[in-house]
Amino acid sequence: MPDKKAWTADDMPDLSGKTIVVTGGNSGIGYEAALEFARKRADVILACRDLGKARSAAAQISTSSPGAKVEVMELDLSSLASVRGFADAFHLGHPALHVLCNNAGVMAIPYRQTVDGFEMQIGTNHLGHFALTGLLLDRLLATEGARVVNVSSGAHRMGKIRFDDLQWHNGYRKWMAYGQSKLANLLFTFELQRRADASGAKLLSVACHPGYAATNLQAAGPRMQGSSMMESLFSVGNSLFAQSAAMGALPTEYAAVASDVHGGDYIGPDGIGEMWGHPVKVGCSAAARDTAAAARLWEMSEQLTNVHYPL
């Protein structure tokens, strides 16, 4: 029996009439996913902190795909006020939401706090997206076939939810904090699907990861630390070993639109170590499937963000 054909962006269906929000859609895998969604005629919203970069990205997408429908909206996931502002603005202009791609994130940065006092990685990567999804949930539930796609990472396997010190007030370790935030992405994904199923909601909650893709993410931490040597090393590593951002975006695109995706699926590259390749359904750590931890994190996330889900 021949192997199943490798899935590419060309396999996406026509997305005319679909509204897709991509957080952090101005660069990296978010940009590449937004580009392909727009090419397939979706109404794409780039939800970004830097409006200048977002407008430049939107212009590039429009140049690449004349007639593309691309909108720019301000969203700073490290500010709950900004998240609420985005949700309010979205409600005013958009009656439906077919796909919410929770893509934006930070990785292994020096210790920083969000404006709300959260450790920056858990605050941006998880809590900001948790709040955003909850505030847009009415639109998602009212849209037939809606999906939430959370971008995690293979680094979730080194993560542990520090329920006694979620914000890393003691002994901050940047890579462990990143792992915690990426594990939180998966716990959120699977708990959202469980709650949707229990309530009878027709919502798919799906996770994905890009493998090792060449983006600006790797250089951000060294740049914040002022380490030009580490920034250069990451750049060399990307050029030698990483797949392109376009390839890294394929799991996001597959999770968002492929017809054989089910709620609770986790999509990643099919290559060795899930580092490179085409999108397939992959496994995750036992910790990511811990239902008790997921329920506890959910309750804590609602309390911290003051966003309460009707599920």
Catalytic site positions: 178
Distance from CA of residue 250 to its chain's centroid? 13
Q: Are strands 279-281 and 266-269 parallel, antiparallel or unpaired?
A: antiparallel
Bridge partners, 267 (sequence order):
208, 281
- What does the alpha-carbon distance between residue 243 and residue 19 come to, in Å, rounded to a whole number? 28
| CB of 41 closer than 8 Å to CB of 62 | no
| CB of 187 closer than 8 Å to CB of 152 | no
Instruction: List the strands of the sheet with 19-23, edge to edge.
Output: 69-74, 43-48, 19-23, 99-102, 147-151, 204-208, 266-269, 279-281
